A and B are shown apart, each in its own frame.
Chain A
């Protein structure tokens, strides 16, 4: 093997050795196989039954997209691994140097601390990519069964989970660098994760600002990637948080710096990150990579909407927990935000659940306004929203039957062999590789 020549090369090589020497990394690798197996097998079985397996009604699966039916649930195993296993791998790699005293030696190199952090992050991202071989095995099995794969939407899901892993790594690394003990770092990392869940819960109840903030949490971000949607603002915000986590790690790992200066630098970093995140919320570019255009209106409608130049105001009289509000948001408003340059939405309600507002005369009304002209509707479908907008904007709607119709890819095949691969071969191979690698290193 050719030896690395630069100090950075030596550092990366060292981090790889430390990674492969850590039990947490092998536990992640061994566990992710069965995790992916459970989700993939269940998803493939449900997909097969809906597609007509064992005499179930053929036709239900006509609108089936592998993105929703297979990849979203299968890759959700990666989300579990990123939340509950990956932090320990990252904490081990960062805190290990502090605990053993190796950092006292390594930190004497004039290399900038952020470069040392970059070496660790490169190795940890590489570790995640290796762990992603498990969902890749699911893709190969799916193709072998005769399943359809639309590469752009699959890549979108994988990128979403890679970004989520990056966020987890940055958070765990920063926690490990800033705390005295790895267990404190682990508790802090999990507390932040639980905090994002709490934020999502509050958002569902309160709406408003909380709903906007919750839209940028890792679970919300992943949900959009799993629907084949890449939102530039979400990507930029995730990258900003990853960079901030790495910088915070570098501040924590730097030796010989007074605590007051570290606190000052950390606060400056937090303020700068907040400013960048706020600026990113004004970015509205997004790309729908789903084959069935599930995040977009039909192409003909999007073409017609290009003729709507005036701002669109929507007033929605629905409570945050009213399922019609979520319906309207996902089926119409999210798509309108992508299709129109200026969409202003105002949600109004007196309560969070809306149960006791049903008798209120205006509850349930959805008002659309363009150039001072207003129309009211109670329907939460995309068709209703478009009909009102065309009418208000005095734009001719596209004719019937224009645009492609997504027929879906039903597949009535039982996932044979998947259990053997994920519950047997994968753990056995990973265990064997762990033993061989550790033996070779000694």
Chain B
């Protein structure tokens, strides 16, 4: 789909991202994993065009992506926002569908899968954190962009909801949509993602499938990797 190369972002003297590189493949669920403060949100905001990058580039088929091309390919769903708080969920979905020219044909399916039918006439500002997260994920899934980037999509969801949302995201990925998730709960990531990008201290510590990362961890530490948590600890 595209490659990110040597992405660097500084806040004054603090380097939040330092030469971060990874690739995103079409139709996969890619997990960006890292502890709090590792630079996940900064990376997503740079990818989403919210923050300017100091260095780095995006390549598609070996050639640089223009800003317009990046904007039309990636849709970024930020964490911890309450957009249009006095408007209803129904209106927010219709507005984003109309404004971005989204997939209106998927509307009923997304509403049903994310179980937000009962929330449609509630204002966004009145929703709980988990309800709001599902409503915003619905908006993200209905966008026409090839890649959906969601920052902490499972934050605020209970176990059952996390599983349902994970299944929905996987279902849309298997239908061709690329999903890039920033997750700090490694168990959630292990359940949903096909591949992983490990981020710590603003650096990429590893990229690949579970097996590839386990092999990398074994090569570095000399011990055979266990689950994703152990691999993550070994590599970061």
Query: Do B49 and A256 touch across chains, with their CB atoms under 8 A apart?
Result: yes
Residue with the highest number of chain B CB atoms closer than 10 Å, among A4, A11, A100, A108:
A108
Binds A, one of B31-39, B92-100, B185-193, B207-215: B92-100
Query: Do A101 and B82 touch across chains, with their CB atoms under 8 A apart?
Result: yes
Restricting to A1-30, which residues have a CB under 8 Å from any CB of B? 3-5, 7, 10-11, 13-14, 17-18, 21-22
Alpha-carbon distance between A97 and B84 when the two chains are bound, in angstroms: 7
0/1 interface trace, chain B 75-87, chain A, CB 8 Å (1 if under): 1111011111111
Q: From the candidates A7, A21, A441, name the one contacting B99 in the complex (CB within 8 A).
A: A7
Query: Do A100 and B88 touch across chains, with their CB atoms under 8 A apart?
Result: no
Query: Do B51 and A10 touch across chains, with their CB atoms under 8 A apart?
Result: no
Q: Which residues of A contact B49 (CB under 8 A)?
A: 107-108, 255-256
Q: A7-B101, A104-B76, A256-B52 are in contact. Are A21 and B95 (CB under 8 A)?
A: no
Query: Do A255 and B50 touch across chains, with their CB atoms under 8 A apart?
Result: yes
Alpha-carbon distance between A442 and B85 when the two chains are bound, in angstroms: 12
Q: From the candidates B71, B82, B101, name the one contacting A108 in the complex (CB within 8 A).
A: B71
- Min CB distance A439 to B, Å, is 12
Restricting to A389-442, which residues have a CB under 8 Å from any CB of B? 441-442
Q: Which residues of A contact B68 (CB under 8 A)?
A: 110
Query: Do A105 and B83 touch across chains, with their CB atoms under 8 A apart?
Result: yes
Alpha-carbon distance between A105 and B142 when the two chains are bound, in angstroms: 13
Q: From the candidates B48, B77, B85, B100, name the one contacting A100 in the complex (CB within 8 A).
A: B85
Alpha-carbon distance between A14 and B78 when the two chains are bound, in angstroms: 20
Alpha-carbon distance between A105 and B95 when the two chains are bound, in angstroms: 12
- Min CB distance B129 to A, Å, is 14
Task: Answer yes or no: B72 CB below 8 A from chain A CBs.
Answer: yes
Alpha-carbon distance between A376 and B91 when the two chains are bound, in angstroms: 74
Alpha-carbon distance between A442 and B84 when the two chains are bound, in angstroms: 13
Task: Answer yes or no: A109 CB below 8 A from chain B CBs.
Answer: yes
Query: Do B121 and A100 touch across chains, with their CB atoms under 8 A apart?
Result: no
Q: Which residues of A contact B139 (CB under 8 A)?
A: 105
Task: Answer yes or no: A372 CB below 8 A from chain B CBs.
Answer: no
Q: Which residues of A contact B67 (CB under 8 A)?
A: 256
Alpha-carbon distance between A4 and B99 when the two chains are bound, in angstroms: 10
Query: Do A109 and B100 touch across chains, with their CB atoms under 8 A apart?
Result: yes
Query: Do B84 and A104 touch across chains, with their CB atoms under 8 A apart?
Result: no
Query: Do A442 and B82 touch across chains, with their CB atoms under 8 A apart?
Result: no
Query: Do A3 and B98 touch across chains, with their CB atoms under 8 A apart?
Result: yes
- Min CB distance B190 to A, Å, is 28
Query: Do A104 and B78 touch across chains, with their CB atoms under 8 A apart?
Result: yes
Q: Which residues of A contact B18 (CB under 8 A)?
A: none
Task: Answer yes or no: B123 CB below 8 A from chain A CBs.
Answer: yes
Q: A104-B76, A108-B75 are in contact. Are A256 and B51 (CB under 8 A)?
A: yes
Task: Answer yes or no: A102 CB below 8 A from chain B CBs.
Answer: yes
Query: Do B50 and A104 touch across chains, with their CB atoms under 8 A apart?
Result: yes
Size class of B's contact patch? Answer: 20 to 34
Alpha-carbon distance between A110 and B88 when the two chains are bound, in angstroms: 25
Task: Answer yes or no: A106 CB below 8 A from chain B CBs.
Answer: yes
Q: From the candidates A4, A258, A441, name the one contacting B52 in the complex (CB within 8 A).
A: A258
Query: Do A101 and B83 touch across chains, with their CB atoms under 8 A apart?
Result: yes
Alpha-carbon distance between A106 and B92 when the two chains are bound, in angstroms: 11
Query: Do A101 and B78 touch across chains, with their CB atoms under 8 A apart?
Result: yes
Alpha-carbon distance between A4 and B83 when the two chains are bound, in angstroms: 21
Residue with the highest number of chain B CB atoms closer than 10 Å, among A101, A107, A255:
A101
Task: Answer yes or no: A257 CB below 8 A from chain B CBs.
Answer: yes
Name the residue on A nearest B49 (C-beta): A256
Q: From the candidates A21, A105, A257, name the one contacting B87 in the complex (CB within 8 A).
A: A21
Query: Do A100 and B83 touch across chains, with their CB atoms under 8 A apart?
Result: yes
Query: Do B48 and A108 touch across chains, with their CB atoms under 8 A apart?
Result: yes
Q: A256-B52, A258-B52 are in contact. Are A110 and B72 (CB under 8 A)?
A: yes
Q: Which residues of B contact A100 (CB under 8 A)?
A: 81-85
Q: Which residues of B contact A256 (CB under 8 A)?
A: 46, 49-52, 67
Q: Which residues of A contact B48 (CB under 8 A)?
A: 104, 108
Query: Do B99 and A11 touch across chains, with their CB atoms under 8 A apart?
Result: yes
Query: Do B95 and A14 touch across chains, with their CB atoms under 8 A apart?
Result: yes
Q: A101-B80, A442-B121 are in contact. Are A110 and B87 (CB under 8 A)?
A: no
Alpha-carbon distance between A294 and B75 when the two chains are bound, in angstroms: 61
Query: Do B50 and A4 touch across chains, with their CB atoms under 8 A apart?
Result: no
Query: Do A10 and B99 touch across chains, with their CB atoms under 8 A apart?
Result: yes
Q: Which residues of A contact B85 (CB under 8 A)?
A: 100
Name the residue on B nearest A101 (C-beta): B81
Name the residue on B nearest A21 (C-beta): B86
- Min CB distance B76 to A, Å, is 6
Alpha-carbon distance between A106 and B88 when the two chains are bound, in angstroms: 17
Q: Which residues of A contact B80 (CB under 8 A)?
A: 101
- Min CB distance A116 to B, Å, is 11
- Min CB distance A199 to B, Å, is 37
- Min CB distance A75 to B, Å, is 32
Restricting to A237-264, which residues have a CB under 8 Å from any CB of B? 255-258
Alpha-carbon distance between A442 and B125 when the two chains are bound, in angstroms: 12
Q: Which residues of A contact B121 (CB under 8 A)?
A: 442
Alpha-carbon distance between A442 and B139 when the two chains are bound, in angstroms: 19
Alpha-carbon distance between A391 and B150 when the two chains are bound, in angstroms: 83
Residue with the highest number of chain A CB atoms closer than 10 Å, among B81, B82, B123:
B81
0/1 interface trace, chain A 104-132, chain B, CB 8 Å (1 if under): 11111110000000000000000000000
Alpha-carbon distance between A14 and B99 when the two chains are bound, in angstroms: 10
| 29 contacting pairs across A/B (C-beta < 8 A) | A7-B99, A10-B98, A10-B99, A14-B95, A14-B99, A17-B87, A18-B84, A22-B86, A100-B82, A101-B78, A102-B83, A104-B83, A105-B78, A105-B81, A105-B83, A107-B50, A108-B75, A108-B76, A108-B100, A109-B100, A110-B68, A255-B49, A256-B50, A256-B51, A441-B86, A441-B87, A441-B88, A441-B91, A442-B123
With A108-B48, A108-B75 already in contact, 6 other A-B pairs whose C-beta atoms are closer than 8 Å: A14-B99, A106-B99, A107-B49, A256-B49, A256-B51, A441-B88
